[in-house]
Chains A and B, each alone.
Chain A
Amino acid sequence: TQLLEQSPQFLSIQEGENLTVYCNSSSVFSSLQWYRQEPGEGPVLLVTVVTGGEVKKLKRLTFQFGDARKDSSLHITAAQPGDTGLYLCAGGGRGSRLTFGEGTQLTVNP
């Protein structure tokens, strides 16, 4: 079973601060996705990274895929209360399976 480890598990910061969430594995993934989940809802895709070393930006969010395609990071600049939620990384592997990390619960306080 491919495993993804996310850190930190919990993060509570003040509005305007920057933060980074990490997603690591000992396995190589064909692609890596980041999802955000709000209470009472299913996860929603933020981004997919496919190429080792790839960097994608989505407004204040920057996603990076490691060169060896085993790890990824999500960096948020100037966090806002609307960024509060559960962030999940998911690795694409055998067939159509998606393996999810444990999630990072982010709280941005006004």
Chain B
Amino acid sequence: DVKVTQSSRYLVKRTGEKVFLECVQDMDHENMFWYRQDPGLGLRLIYFSYDVKMKEKGDIPEGYSVSREKKERFSLILESASTNQTSMYLCASRLPTTEAFFGQGTRLTVV
């Protein structure tokens, strides 16, 4: 059973904190993605990675960074959390032309 696992289902952080969201996949996929999901806006791509140590900005990278030191792990970092980063964060992985497999999501609240 293929899996994408996100480290937390729910997180509450304070404004200004550095926040780490972790994602692990067990399918040996080259490509991994971080999206945020807000009502009425669908899934917006923050960053994606097509190989270890390789990354590319998505559509809304401001305020975020990522790290991919190992193929199976892709981390999203909020350098200084702000209230407008309160959202559902979804990690996904895929081979170049196949379906995307998603984690269960992390609902982050910044207070």
Contact = CB atoms under 8 A, between A and B. Distances in A.
Interface of A: 1, 4, 6, 9, 30-31, 33, 35, 40-45, 48, 88, 90, 92, 95-103
Interface of B: 4, 9, 30-31, 33, 35, 40-45, 48, 50, 56, 58-59, 90, 92, 94-97, 99-105
A45 B35 contact: no
Given A41-B104, A42-B101, A98-B45, 13 more contacts: A1-B59, A6-B42, A9-B40, A33-B99, A40-B9, A42-B105, A43-B102, A48-B99, A88-B42, A96-B50, A96-B95, A100-B43, A101-B42
Contacts, number: 64
Contact of A102 (B40, B95, B96, B104): B40
A45 B41 CA distance: 19
A8 to B, nearest CB: 12
The 4 closest A-B pairs by CB, nearest first: A42-B102, A45-B99, A100-B43, A102-B42
26 contacts: A35-B100, A42-B4, A42-B92, A42-B101, A43-B43, A43-B100, A44-B102, A45-B99, A45-B100, A48-B99, A90-B100, A95-B56, A95-B96, A96-B30, A96-B31, A96-B96, A96-B97, A98-B45, A98-B92, A98-B100, A99-B45, A100-B35, A100-B42, A101-B42, A102-B40, A102-B42
